[in-house]
């Protein structure tokens, strides 16, 4: 009997240690972190255009850097308002470099051991010794592209960018497995008190123009960032934006940017992002708003869509509230920018997802960059049918279509998800 009691206690202890304790510890750590930082993300929609913009860009490969820098340069805003930008080099922790990383950790000063990535200026080199050790180890094995050479290339690119634009970008490194790499990104954004995170899409454009997955782990990281980030997140579908973005610095050339506006908090955030690009002298912005061609048919389609989820009244009220917010926000945007001649504004009237896709197809080759909102998973009657062929739900219906090789859109796309902390926040008139 005594042995059974001991065994029972051991089993209960094991359950507590493996099932109950870790979530409790994580919850306490998260609470303490938020209490210490006092961080509450403010979406771009609620951030006055002239205020400081804090943003974090992150990438796994140097190939993504030119386009990310182009976005930074395009959104920097007026010179009177400062911009704080960090670039996080994402380094996968693998079996081959784990021992090297462990050795580098042991060689750190005792005060730095076990510390995570931090974007505080005083802590930005915490992981430098570890990254350098891994780089040296890999450089001995490979004479080609190595982590060391990529790190040097990034440093050179950021220095050149600073000389050309006057924008200083702090370079930090995050070393972790794909399973928790999103924590480095999200925690880094909190340290910076960022309003915006921009990360590259997990697919890269090939020579033939098609998009191919570089590493499925990159997609997992992006999905987790979208779920856990406390600020606005943008996923960049890069189709040579870095090359096209050279146009703004050349006299007489304009960088064509378009916003596809269907409605909802993510689309309003995308519009707010684009508004910050208007201070750049080389940006020409066009807003294309998609509206139902028949309000009565649209209302019936909305009721049918809501009936499937057994939330007819809730969905209709939510739609009416969102549509009112859309009209209010677009009206303010129109008064400030369109009426002043700074922005071109177009309206497209469509009845369903087929007409929506056809209208989008007419925009082929018009813009270097399209900015779109991610939108809800169920979409609206104007996009709902697209769910049948969505390959990447993390991009939303419109973003997924623009990323599709079959659709053949040639330009780059930025898919924006609004800061989730501000879903219930009272919207202020930042265009006043």
Q: Is 255 in the same domain as 195?
A: no
With respect to residue 4, please indicate whether it lies within any of the assigned structural domains: no
With respect to residue 405, please indicate whether it lies within any of the assigned structural domains: yes
What are the tens digits of pLDDT across the range 212-235? 888 899 999 999 999 999 999 999
Q: Mean pLDDT, to the nearest integer, of 138-150?
A: 56
Q: Mean pLDDT, to the nearest integer, of 58-64?
A: 91
With respect to residue 44, please indicate whether it lies within any of the assigned structural domains: yes
Query: Which one of 8-17, 91-100, 252-261 scores highest in mean pLDDT?
Result: 252-261
Q: Is 279 in the same domain as 186?
A: no
Q: Is 231 in the same domain as 248?
A: no
- Percent pLDDT > 70 in the chain is 72
38 pLDDT band, cuts 50/70/90, is low
Round the average pLDDT of the chain to a whole number and report it: 79
With respect to residue 29, please indicate whether it lies within any of the assigned structural domains: no
With respect to residue 27, please indicate whether it lies within any of the assigned structural domains: no
Q: Is 273 in the same domain as 373?
A: yes
Both tokens of 431, joined, read: 């265009």
What are the tens digits of pLDDT across the range 265-319? 999 999 999 999 988 888 899 999 999 998 777 777 777 766 666 666 677 788 7
Q: Is 142 in the same domain as 73?
A: yes
With respect to residue 7, please indicate whether it lies within any of the assigned structural domains: no
Q: Mean pLDDT, to the nearest integer, of 18-24?
A: 66
Q: Is 410 in the same domain as 366?
A: yes
Cα–Cα distance, 32 to 253 (Å, whole number):
50
With respect to residue 427, please indicate whether it lies within any of the assigned structural domains: no
Residue position matching structure tokens 């450089």: 139
**HEC per residue, 65-126:** HHHHHHHHHHCCCCCCCCEEEEEEEEEECCHHHHHHHHHHHHHCCCCCCCCCCCCCHHHCCC
Sequence-distant (≥ 6) Cβ neighbours of residue 179 within 8 angstroms: 220
CATH number at residue 46: 3.40.50.620
How many separate domains does the chain show? 2
Q: Is 135 in the same domain as 112?
A: yes
Neighbour count for residue 425 (Cβ, 10 Å): 13
* pLDDT given at position 138: 44
Whether 21 has a pLDDT exceeding 70, the answer reads no
| End-of-domain residue from the set 235, 265, 298 | 235
Cα–Cα distance, 277 to 21 (Å, whole number):
47
133 pLDDT band, cuts 50/70/90, is very low
Whether 398 has a pLDDT exceeding 50, the answer reads yes
Least confident of 131-145, 158-172, 253-267: 131-145
Q: Is 250 in the same domain as 221?
A: no
* pLDDT given at position 123: 39
* pLDDT given at position 164: 86
pTM of the model: 0.80
Of 81 and 417, more confident: 417
- Using the Cα atoms of residue 182, residue 188, residue 193 and residue 197 in order, give the sign of their dihedral: negative
- Find out whether 167 and 76 touch, Cβ atoms under 8 Å: yes
| End-of-domain residue from the set 203, 235, 267 | 235
247 pLDDT band, cuts 50/70/90, is very low
Q: Mean pLDDT, to the nearest integer, of 403-416?
A: 91
Both tokens of 229, joined, read: 């980030």
Cα–Cα distance, 293 to 315 (Å, whole number):
21
Q: Is 193 in the same domain as 310?
A: no
Domain residue limits at 248: 242-422
| End-of-domain residue from the set 235, 250, 276 | 235
Of 181 and 133, more confident: 181
């Amino acid at each position: 009997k005594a042995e059974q009691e001991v065994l029972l206690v051991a089993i209960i202890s094991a359950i507590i240690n493996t099932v109950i304790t870790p979530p409790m510890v994580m919850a306490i750590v998260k609470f303490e972190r938020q209490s210490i930082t006092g961080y509450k993300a403010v979406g771009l929609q609620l951030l006055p255009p002239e205020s400081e913009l804090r943003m974090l860009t992150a990438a796994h490969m140097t190939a993504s850097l030119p386009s990310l820098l182009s976005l930074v340069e395009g959104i920097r805003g007026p010179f009177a308002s400062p911009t704080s930008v960090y670039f996080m080099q994402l380094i996968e922790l693998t079996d081959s470099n784990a021992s090297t990383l462990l050795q580098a950790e042991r060689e750190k000063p005792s005060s730095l051991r076990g510390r995570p990535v931090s974007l505080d200026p005083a802590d930005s080199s915490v992981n430098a010794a570890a990254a350098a050790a891994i780089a040296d180890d890999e450089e001995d094995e490979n004479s080609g592209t190595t982590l060391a050479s990529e790190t040097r290339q990034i440093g050179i690119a950021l220095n050149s960018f600073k000389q050309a634009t006057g924008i200083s970008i702090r370079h930090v490194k995050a070393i972790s497995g794909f399973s928790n790499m999103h924590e480095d990104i999200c925690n880094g954004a909190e340290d910076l008190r960022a309003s915006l995170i921009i990360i590259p899409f997990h697919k890269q454009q090939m020579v033939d123009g098609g998009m191919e997955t570089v590493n499925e782990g990159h997609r997992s990281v992006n999905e987790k960032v979208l779920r856990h980030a406390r600020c606005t997140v943008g996923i960049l579908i890069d189709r040579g934006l870095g090359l096209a973005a050279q146009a703004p610095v050349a006299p007489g050339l304009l960088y064509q940017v378009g916003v596809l506006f269907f409605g909802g908090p993510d689309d309003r955030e995308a519009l707010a992002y684009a508004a910050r690009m208007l201070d750049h002298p080389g940006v020409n912005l066009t807003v294309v708003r998609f509206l139902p061609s028949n309000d009565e048919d649209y209302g019936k389609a909305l009721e049918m869509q809501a009936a499937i989820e057994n939330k007819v009244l809730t969905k209709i009220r939510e739609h009416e509230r969102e549509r009112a917010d859309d009209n209010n926000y677009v009206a303010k945007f129109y008064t400030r920018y369109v009426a002043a001649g700074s922005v071109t504004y177009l309206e497209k009237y469509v009845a369903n997802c087929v007409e929506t896709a056809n209208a989008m197809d007419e925009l082929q080759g018009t813009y270097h960059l399209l900015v779109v909102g991610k939108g809800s998973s169920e979409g609206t009657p104007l996009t709902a049918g697209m769910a049948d062929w969505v390959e990447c739900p993390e991009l939303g219906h419109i973003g997924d279509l623009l990323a599709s090789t079959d659709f053949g859109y040639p330009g780059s796309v930025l898919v924006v998800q609004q800061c989730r902390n501000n879903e219930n926040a009272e919207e202020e008139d930042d265009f006043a």
